[in-house]
Structure 1
Amino acid sequence: MRYSSQVKPISYLRANTAKVLAQLAGQREPLVITQNGEAKAVLQDVASFEETQETLALLKTLALGNQELAAGKIKSAAEVATRLRANRATD
């Protein structure tokens, strides 16, 4: 995706807020807002933002798992199954 086609000055946002919000929801592409010719913010529809946050959470979980794997903090499936059976027997 090229963000260069989705760049607007802050004055455009002020003058066309409703139009911008409708466009964000319809196209589901972020909009870069500039101030004095410099990129200052990115606007995104709520659904896309939530998807991004969920993706980041999954990636963080994977990264933590890889760190634990590299540190040797792993257990075999058999060990986990034995532990689960033991916990179930005591409940």
Structure 2
Amino acid sequence: MQSVSNIKSISYLKSHAAQISEDLELNGTPYVITQNGEASMVIEHVKQFQEKERLIAVLKIIALGANDRQQGKGFSIEESRSQLKAARQSRK
């Protein structure tokens, strides 16, 4: 897990929003924003957010595939290969 070095108060966020935005663009290190001394939110660059969303989507697909495989759904390697071979031959 990534260590958090940018811990700032919400008042710092209010007065330094542009600086935080520039820092996120340059460094990519997320900020933990505190309110009343407790972590309240995390601010990260949109690229990091999108990357995490894509990773979550891929992990969900992998988990669904693993569940299907455990339930006996899907095709064996041999079945998949024969279907691919038949599809290729039908295109010729």
Q: TM-score, normalised by structure 1?
A: 0.84
Asked if 1:46 is matched to 2:46, the reply is: yes
Which structure 2 segments of 5+ residues have no match?
none
With 57-66 and 76-85 compared, the bigger mean Cα shift is at 76-85
Runs of 4+ in structure 1 over 6 Å off = none
With 12-21 and 65-74 compared, the bigger mean Cα shift is at 65-74
Distance, in Å, in 1 between the alignment partners of 2:41 and 2:8 is 10
Q: Deviations over 1:10-51 (max 9, x none)?
A: 000000010000011111111111111111111010111111
Distance, in Å, in 1 between the alignment partners of 2:64 and 2:46 is 27
Distance, in Å, in 1 between the alignment partners of 2:81 and 2:20 is 53
- Aligned residue pair count: 89
Amino acid at match of 1:2: S
Indicate the residue corresponding to 2:17 in structure 1.
Answer: 17
Q: TM-score, normalised by structure 2?
A: 0.83
Q: Deviations over 1:26-78 (max 9, x none)?
A: 11111111111111111010111111111111111111111111111131233
Indicate the residue corresponding to 1:7 in structure 2.
Answer: 7
How big is the shift at 1:6? Answer: 1.3
Per the alignment, in what secondary structure is the counterpart of residue 33 of structure 1?
Answer: strand
Distance, in Å, in 2 between the alignment partners of 1:74 and 1:45 is 39
Which structure 1 segments of 5+ residues have no match?
none
Indicate the residue corresponding to 2:72 in structure 1.
Answer: 72
